[in-house]
Amino acid sequence: MPSRKLSGKPEELAAFIDKFDIFLFDCDGVLWQGKALLPRTVETLAHLRNLGKHLLFVTNNSTKSRATYQKTLQDFGIPCDVNEIFCSAYSSAIYISRVLQLPRDKKVYVIGESGIEEELAAEGITYIGDDGGDITPEDYDSFGPDEDVGVVLCGLDRAISYRKLARAYQYLRNPETVFLATNIDSTFPTHGKLFPGAGAISAPLICMTGRTPVSLGKPSQAMMDAIEGVLKFDKKRACMVGDRLDTDIRFGIEGGLGGTLAVLTGVSTEEEILEEGAAAVPDVYLDRLCDILG
Ligand SMILES: O=C(O)[C@H](O)[C@H](O)COP(=O)(O)O
Ligand SMILES: [Mg+2]
């Protein structure tokens, strides 16, 4: 069934909204781009809350923790509870502690930012990183496999370096060391353009090792497991709202949600939504989230 653009008719928009009790919102490219809110985001979310709808924020961006996202949302004028927020740093920490059950004497080598470190710490997981400085002659001698490193976890790292990758590669030469990615989005939408995404950070490690990481962000249902570990909801009365077909919309479809809504303010384009063989086909789409206000 091809996707269709929701019309601006108030009755059609109201009928669409009435089909759901809960909306799962992707963040980058839906609510904001970088530090800039997209038009009427606050008004749109307030409108849905006033209609009694529950809102969840479900982001693949691992640079911030849930707590930091809560402050970000509140600073944007979007009141929320931390238990309404799910990020790939959180789904990764939950996976490592409760699914993988990494022994407490093992540690995680992190390529990424503070969001990952904070969520690992919250789950009591020991981690190490790398300051990202220039690789030194001593490094060439000292870097090597380390049996205490049970996991290499890679996410968006805007200070990536040769040294960080070199260290991760040495750890991953041990086949016992688990290779995880918070998410593998190829690009990151910000400032109206696309920049390297988390997938571009883990790609060199895939190239070097020939290993593919288990990704814990959308479309992986590890993110849905993390959500359902916090709250149960009627999936058939839930709608996923996203800007990326291969993450958000696929996540909603494969998660068995009642509906999917794509918006064109992030990564995916109208052409990609309508083309044969689209990565995933949203039920409906809009130019901007706020167009749901009519
Ligand atoms: O590269 C990334 O990590 C992603 O582009 C980014 O974080 C996506 O975040 P989301 O759209 O899921 O909020
Ligand atoms: Mg997005």
Cβ atoms 96, 124 nearer than 8 A: no
In 173-276, which ranges are continuous DSSP H helix?
A: 198-209, 222-228, 250-254, 270-274
The per-residue pLDDT for 289 is 98
- Amino acid letter, residue 247: T
pLDDT of residue 190: 96
Q: Is 64 annotated as a binding residue?
A: no
Q: How confident is the model at residue 51 (pLDDT cuts 50, 70, 90)?
A: very high
Tell me the average pLDDT across 33-55.
97
Q: Is 75 a catalytic residue?
A: no
Q: Rounded to an integer, what distance in angstroms lies between the CA atom of residue 25 and that of residue 69?
A: 13
Q: Is the pLDDT of residue 61 over 90?
A: yes
Rounded Cα–Cα distance for residues 167 and 120 (Å): 20
- CB-based pocket (< 6 A), ligand 1: 26-29, 59-61, 156, 183, 185, 188, 197-198
Q: Probe ligand 1: pick from 188, 245, 246, max atoms within 8 Å of CB? A: 188
pLDDT of amino acid 222: 96
Averaged pLDDT, 49-62:
98
Q: Say whether 218 counts as a known binding-site residue.
A: yes
Given this model, what pLDDT does residue 1 score? 86
277 burial via Cβ count (<10 Å: 0-12, 13-18, 19+): exposed
pLDDT average, residue stretch 22-36: 97
The alpha carbon of 188 and the centre of ligand 1 are apart by a number of angstroms equal to: 6
The reported pLDDT for the residue numbered 8 is 87
The pLDDT of residue 132:
84
The per-residue pLDDT for range 98-152, each reduced to its tens digit, is 999 999 999 999 999 999 999 999 999 999 999 889 999 999 999 999 999 999 9
Helix, coil or strand: residue 187: strand
Q: Which regions of 96-221 does DSSP assign to beta strands (E)?
A: 107-111, 126-128, 149-154, 178-181, 187-190, 193-196, 214-215
Average model confidence (pLDDT) across the chain: 97
Domain architecture of the chain: domains with CATH: 4-60+219-293 (3.40.50.1000), 102-215 (3.40.50.1000)
Active site residue 246: no
Kindly state the helix (H) or strand (E) to which residue 231 belongs, with its residue range.
none
234 appears as a binding residue in the annotation = no
Strand 238-242 and strand 214-215: the pairing is: unpaired
Question: How much distance in Å is there from the Cα of 101 to the middle of ligand 1?
Answer: 26
Task: Check pLDDT > 90 for residue 79.
Answer: yes
Q: Structure tokens of 224?
A: 């849905």
Q: Is the pLDDT of residue 20 over 90?
A: yes
